């Protein structure tokens, strides 16, 4: 998944292309590049690594031109070096691309047999060669692009400019999002409206299978057969300001600290504080729902696992949760009495979007639990439940996770009321607990900080960590492990505490830290027994529990983090905090790139 931008203007574009790329680097930061046409010259500057490297290159060797395109890359085909960085040139053709051309190997072979010489290992270069071939055969630019589209398999969004046609730019979308920005005497392409926010707040989103040609003053939309299509032009709410870190060292640190406020926004939207009831949750009527699917990826998937517990417990709905990349290939009997929820911070994750399409095409009612309200998943779902976390910039998801949990809790209470599985007194009690979350979170974050920093110094010296828990603490264990892997590059696994003895316990020795997540809930004693089994084999226990749990457990631990005792419905929101903080401080000590860890991107728009 990469970010792309194109500008057709009467004014210089290089600086603005870089500005747009800065807003797109959540989609990848393996390399960046821009290309422009000035007079009869088409030039590019590219650099591996962060955008900063490209800026330095441009400072040393600027380019002019009033038409140009830019790209920030998350490598799929070919290592992240300068050669593989976009834009790619073949003859007069310049291409930037997001996605994967699945039949690239056969196309590459065909083109090579025709005499094409390849400079890169990318699938994108195929596009440039195909365009060059079809234009050389005498096709006009649009006809050449349509010819090319007939040859492609995969999911892609790309933009093309031709040195021979310096007043226009073309683009097509099959999968990943693409927006057109309408400016004053200039037009834009962008992977999303955020990239275009400094230039315009009027956008047209391309639908799947759309193509577009833009000039300075005009846009033409058509489908893959060349037939005209109409799409709505809309105003966006996206801010043109880039969010900054404030007084924090990293966005992740800021986003952890913002959680009390973020949860207050969720509560303001979904809770009536006076009557202690939930509101704004009935866009899907769960009263007639037989079963529910939840599909998501990464941290959003783990939020879905906790959401499942809430929905089963409070609304007595049978819920299946799948990793979206698996869900999309399952063979399932769908029915109109099912509903499906798709959880995504970005609202652009390719696998989650594909899972949504499958449900929608099978008549299942769909709901999106998203942070970015204008995102593709939000736009394409029957109902949207915004999580209102505000911009989350750190690649490691933190505040989006706890906001997703808060929205799931409200949805489960609302569904329980409609299905008659909880009464008004129970609703009031549960909402009463939710209302306490911002205050408890603030206290916990401030109080455990020194202890977490000490513990992080010890964790930074190990190579492997096991996390374990039961009930909602099992997905939390996986979330804690995911955070540590992702930003501290320490191998970590999250297990159901009861599963350890079925294999992983063989890993335990006196060098293995085991982080036990054990709130004093109905699983506590069972988890303590599993902890004993680990301790008996020399494992070094780090216990995360609450005041009641601490009073009940006297087992020797190397560290003990004690949180306030809270109700089950809010326990995962509170217990997520030490896990996030521990990963963060460990990564800081290890000196990793916390906000943009290696090999990752914030938004994953490829399969």
561 backbone dihedrals φ, ψ, rounded to 5°: -110, 120
Q: What angle do CA 494, 499, 503 make, to 5 degrees?
A: 95
Clarify whether 2 is annotated catalytic: yes
CB of 27 to ligand M6R, least distance (A): 11
- For residue 267, the minimal CB distance to ligand M6R (Å) is 21
Kindly state the smallest distance separating residue 341's Cβ from ligand M6R, in Å. Answer: 13
Tokens of 237: 């709410």
User: Among 76, 120, 299, 309, which residue sits at the site for ligand M6R (rule: CB under 6 A)?
Assistant: 299
Show contacts with ligand M6R in window 278-297 (CB under 6 A). Answer: 297
Are residues 467 and 483 in contact, defined by beta-carbon separation less than 8 angstroms? Answer: no
Residue 604 near ligand M6R by CB under 6 A = yes
Half-sphere exposure of 14 (CA within 13 A, CB side): 19
Give the strand pairing for 154-162 and 93-101.
antiparallel
SS (H, E, C) 401-432: HHHHHHHHHHHHHHHHHHHCCCCHHHHHHHHH
Size of residue set near ligand M6R by CB under 6 A: 16
Using the rule CB under 6 A, is 346 a contact of ligand M6R? yes
Q: Which of 31, 204, 289, 349 binds ligand M6R (CB under 6 A)?
A: 349
Strands 93-101, 88-90: pairing kind? antiparallel
Binding segment for ligand M6R (CB under 6 A), chosen from 298-306, 331-339, 405-413, 425-433, is 298-306
217 vs 167, 188, 195, 198, CA distance in Å?
10, 10, 20, 18
Residue closer to ligand M6R, measured from CB, 532 or 599: 599
Residue 41: CB minimum distance to ligand M6R, A: 39
The only residue of 135, 259, 352, 586 in contact with ligand M6R, by rule CB under 6 A:
352
Question: Residue 470 has which token pair?
Answer: 């039961």
Residue 577 contacts ligand M6R per CB under 6 A: no
Closer residue to ligand M6R, CB minimum distance, 381 or 553: 381
List the one residue out of 311, 314, 384 whose CA is nearest residue 342: 384
Summary count for the chain: helices (H), strands (E) = 19, 26
Instruction: In angstroms, give the least distance from the CB of 408 to ligand M6R.
Output: 14
What is the 3-class SS of 36-55, one letter each residue? EEECCEEEEEEEECCHHHHH
Residue nearest to ligand M6R as judged by C-beta position: 298
| Whole-number Å distance between alpha carbons of 160 and 172 | 9
Which residue among 72, 557, 571, 603 contacts ligand M6R (CB under 6 A)? 603
Q: Which residues pair with 543 in a beta bridge?
A: 516, 560
Of 352, 299, 252, nearest to 476 by C-alpha is 299
* CA dihedral sign, ordered 427, 433, 437, 439: positive
DSSP 233: E
Please state, in angstroms and as integers, the Cα–Cα distance from residue 54 to each residue in 58, 69, 109, 146, 196, following that order: 6, 14, 32, 32, 19
| Smallest distance from ligand M6R to CB 204, Å | 23
The smaller minimum CB distance to ligand M6R, of residues 539 and 572, is found at 572
Q: Annotated catalytic residue: which of 2, 94, 211, 281?
A: 2
264 binds ligand M6R (CB under 6 A): no
Residue 160 vs 393, nearer CB to ligand M6R: 393
Binding residues among 396-435 for ligand M6R as defined by CB under 6 A? 396-397
Q: How far is the CB of 372 from ligand M6R (least distance, A)?
A: 8
Taking CB under 6 A as the binding criterion, the range among 53-61, 124-132, 346-354, 576-584 that sits at the site for ligand M6R is: 346-354
Stretch that binds ligand M6R, among 34-42, 50-58, 271-279, 394-402 (CB under 6 A): 394-402
Strand-pairing partners, residue 442, are none
Q: How far apart are CA 356 and CA 544, in angstroms?
A: 36
Shortest Å, Cβ 603 to ligand M6R: 6
The single residue among 101, 196, 350, 395 that binds ligand M6R, judged by CB under 6 A, is 395
The single residue among 25, 186, 427, 486 that binds ligand M6R, judged by CB under 6 A, is 486
Residue 192 engages ligand M6R in binding (rule: CB under 6 A): no
d(CA 31, CA 86): 8
Provide the terminal-to-terminal Cα distance of the chain, rounded to the nearest Å. 9
- The number of CA neighbours under 13 Å toward the Cβ of 23 is 24
Q: Is residue 441 at the binding interface for ligand M6R, with CB under 6 A as the rule?
A: no
Q: Residue 281: beta bridge partners?
A: none
**Of residues 544-563, which lie at the interface with ligand M6R (CB under 6 A)?**
none
| 174 annotated active-site | no
Give the shortest CB-290-to-ligand M6R separation in angstroms. Answer: 26
Which residues in 443-482 contact ligand M6R (CB under 6 A)?
482
CB of 571 to ligand M6R, least distance (A): 20
Taking each helix axis as running N to C, give the angle between helix 124-136 and helix 104-113, from 0 to 180 degrees, rounded to the nearest 10: 40
Report the alpha-carbon distance of residue 394 to residue 581 in Å, rounded: 13
Pick the closer one to ligand M6R by CB: 144 or 396: 396
Query: Is residue 338 part of the contact set for ligand M6R (CB under 6 A)?
Result: no
- Tell whether residue 344 is a contact of ligand M6R (CB under 6 A): yes
356 lines the binding site for ligand M6R (CB under 6 A): no
Which residues contact ligand M6R (rule: CB under 6 A)? 297-300, 344-346, 349, 352, 395-397, 482, 486, 603-604
- Return the active site residues: 2, 602
């Amino acid at each position: 998944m990469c970010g792309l931008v194109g500008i057709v203007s009467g004014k210089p574009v290089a600086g603005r292309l870089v500005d747009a790329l800065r807003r797109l680097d959540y989609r990848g930061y393996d390399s960046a590049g821009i290309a422009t046409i000035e007079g009869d010259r088409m030039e590019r500057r590219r650099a591996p690594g962060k955008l900063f490297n490209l800026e330095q290159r441009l400072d040393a060797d600027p380019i002019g031109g009033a038409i140009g395109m830019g790209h920030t890359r998350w490598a799929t085909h070919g290592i992240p070096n300068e050669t593989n960085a976009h834009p790619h040139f073949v003859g007069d053709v310049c291409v930037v691309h997001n996605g994967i051309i699945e039949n690239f190997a056969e196309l590459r072979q065909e083109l090579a047999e025709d005499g094409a010489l390849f400079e890169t290992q990318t699938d994108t270069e195929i596009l440039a060669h195909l365009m060059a071939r079809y234009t050389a055969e005498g096709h006009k630019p649009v006809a050449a692009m349509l010819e090319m589209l007939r040859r492609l398999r995969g999911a892609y969004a790309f933009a093309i400019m031709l040195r021979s046609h310096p007043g226009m730019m073309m683009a097509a979308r099959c999968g990943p999002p693409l927006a057109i920005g309408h400016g004053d005497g200039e037009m834009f392409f962008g992977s999303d409206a955020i990239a275009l926010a400094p230039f315009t707040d009027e956008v047209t989103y391309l639908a799947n299978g759309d193509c577009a040609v833009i000039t300075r003053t005009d846009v033409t939309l058509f489908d893959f057969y060349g037939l005209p299509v109409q799409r709505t032009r809309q105003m966006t709410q996206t801010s043109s300001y880039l969010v900054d870190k404030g007084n924090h060292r990293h966005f992740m640190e800021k986003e952890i600290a913002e959680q009390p406020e973020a949860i207050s926004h969720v509560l303001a939207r979904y809770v009536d504080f006076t009557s202690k009831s939930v509101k704004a949750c009935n866009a899907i009527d769960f009263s007639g729902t037989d079963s529910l699917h939840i599909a998501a990826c990464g941290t959003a998937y783990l939020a879905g696992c906790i959401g499942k517990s809430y929905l089963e417990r409070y609304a007595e709905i049978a819920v299946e949760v799948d990793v979206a990349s698996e869900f999309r290939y399952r063979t399932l009997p769908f029915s109109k009495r099912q509903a499906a929820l798709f959880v995504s911070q970005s609202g652009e994750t390719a696998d989650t979007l594909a899972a949504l399409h499958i449900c929608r095409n099978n008549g299942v009612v769909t709901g999106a639990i998203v942070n970015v309200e204008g995102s593709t998943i939000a736009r394409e779902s029957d109902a949207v439940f915004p999580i209102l976390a505000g911009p989350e910039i750190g690649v490691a998801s933190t505040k989006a996770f706890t906001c997703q949990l808060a929205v799931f809790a409200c949805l489960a209470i609302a569904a329980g009321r409609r299905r008659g599985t909880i009464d008004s007194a129970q609703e009031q009690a549960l909402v009463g607990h939710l209302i306490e979350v911002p205050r408890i979170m603030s206290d916990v974050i401030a109080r455990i900080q020194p202890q977490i920093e000490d513990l992080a110094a010890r964790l930074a010296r190990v190579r492997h960590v096991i996390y374990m828990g039961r009930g909602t603490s099992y997905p939390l264990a996986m979330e804690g492990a995911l955070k540590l892997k992702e930003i501290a590059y320490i191998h970590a696994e999250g297990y159901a505490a009861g599963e350890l003895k079925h294999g992983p316990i063989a890993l335990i020795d006196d060098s293995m830290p085991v982080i036990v997540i054990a709130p004093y809930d109905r699983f506590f004693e069972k988890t303590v027994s599993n902890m004993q089994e680990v301790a008996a084999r020399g494992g070094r226990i780090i216990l995360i529990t609450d005041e009641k749990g601490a009073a009940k457990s006297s087992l020797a631990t190397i560290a003990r983090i004690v949180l306030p005792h809270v109700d089950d419905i809010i326990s995962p929101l509170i217990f997520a905090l030490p896990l996030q903080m521990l990963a963060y401080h460990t990564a800081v000590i290890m000196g990793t790139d916390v906000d943009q860890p290696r090999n990752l991107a914030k938004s994953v728009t490829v399969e």
